[in-house]
Amino acid sequence: MKKKLFKNCAALVLGVAALVSCSGGASAKANGSAANLIGSYVANEKADGNYGKGSFNALVYQVNLYEENVYEFIKTEVMYGYGMVLGTTTIVNHGTYVAGTSEDGIAEYTLNAASEVLFNSYSKAGGYNISINTQNQTYPVELLAKTQGEKNMANSKEDVIKEYGTGYKIYCETAKNTFSFKKEGSDSVETVTTASGDISKVFSEEIRSSNIVNNFINPGNYGEGSWTAEAYQVNVYESGEYEFIKTELIFGYGIVLGTTTIVNYGTTVLSEPEDGYQTVKLNAADRVIFNSFSKAGGYNIKIDTANCTYPVELLAKNQGEKNMANSKEDVVKEYGPEATYYVSTSKNELSLTNPNA
């Protein structure tokens, strides 16, 4: 059973000309679900791949900045080559940030190196399945190989952070929900190795399980060779609460048209394992953090139901249509409904349909 959390086909090139913003939060909680959000920004990239002609990597980045000078950095990557989806990699980092200058609509932030790293990567074509959580990791642990046939090992949490928890200088458009790794006029990305401070007010609860999956669609709605690359992640905390992450990059007419991201928090129910899988039922979200923008122009929407003024505009479903939410319940119905997924008990894989059906 596949639960589509958002519909985008009509919305990308409609010229909606909307900029909608709802942000803020409530008192801090140990898994980030009620922390005070001061900003949520996204970026995307389509990079050339290494797996035959026409291969590529679809990357989506998200940075959530909390009042307590704590950040969540999310990176998802869907790899395509040899005419198929080869694999998916996700990184969820938590650390502290320092606010820099803010002028001409651009706010600079320094993301220190992560305090904790949650790393998942697997290949559908076979060869590797890696899941690392520095909260409770046993070492040594295998990392992604850098060259064919190589064993790339981490012997400590510091090794994992060095590999996957690097910090960055980022430049956020304060009137929108987008950011860049590069300062205007520069071609370089500035990395940061300074250690993070205390993140426990926002992120300290231990993650029980983390599972990921990709979904590659060739919709054909935006010219020849158009496609949509999606990545899903479900993190289940010891308290029984979940963090659901979905990212979507849409490509058409030879360019990246837009990106949509959803980060939902709520409660979940896990079934007993059966034939290598558990059913994970996500109850309707208690909080939805939604971002969507079109590089081709037309809309820029950001919503945080922890602090939102209604009505608020959602993605249009049909050309020329205004799709409005008049309440938190409307937003949850659209982007955070109850859903059921299936998690492997031996791997870090998430399934959108019942593998045992």
pLDDT digits (tens, 9 = 90+) for 70-120: 999 999 999 999 888 999 999 999 999 999 999 999 999 999 999 999 999
**Are the C-beta atoms of 122 and 129 separated by less than 8 Å?**
yes
- The answer to whether position 118 is within a domain reads yes
Calculate the alpha carbon distances from 344 to 151, 195, 218, 347 in Å. 25, 34, 26, 5
- The answer to whether position 2 is within a domain reads no
**Are the C-beta atoms of 271 and 244 separated by less than 8 Å?**
no
> What is the percent of the chain with per-residue pLDDT over 70, rounded to a whole number?
91
pLDDT confidence tier of residue 3, bands split at 50, 70 and 90: very low
What residues make up the domain containing 78? 18-351
**Are the C-beta atoms of 124 and 213 separated by less than 8 Å?**
no
Could you tell me the two tokens for 274? 């059966």
CA distance 86 to 152: 20
CA distance 313 to 335: 13
- The answer to whether position 239 is within a domain reads yes
Could you tell me the two tokens for 169? 């200088």
Q: What is the mean pLDDT of the chain?
A: 89
Identify the residue with better confidence: 264 or 321: 264
- The answer to whether position 81 is within a domain reads yes
CA distance 356 to 272: 14
Amino acid at 233: Q
Q: Cβ–Cβ contacts within 10 Å for residue 286, how many?
A: 18
- The answer to whether position 10 is within a domain reads no
Identify the residue with better confidence: 210 or 5: 210
Could you tell me the two tokens for 69? 């000078």
- The answer to whether position 263 is within a domain reads yes
- The answer to whether position 313 is within a domain reads yes
Q: What is the pLDDT of residue 218?
A: 85
- The answer to whether position 80 is within a domain reads yes
Tell me the mean pLDDT in the region 46-65. Answer: 93
Structural domains counted in the chain: 1
Phi–psi pair at 335, nearest 5 degrees: -120, -5
pLDDT digits (tens, 9 = 90+) for 228-254: 999 999 999 999 999 999 999 999 999
pLDDT confidence tier of residue 22, bands split at 50, 70 and 90: low
CA distance 56 to 321: 34
Distance of CA 348 to the CA centre of its chain: 16
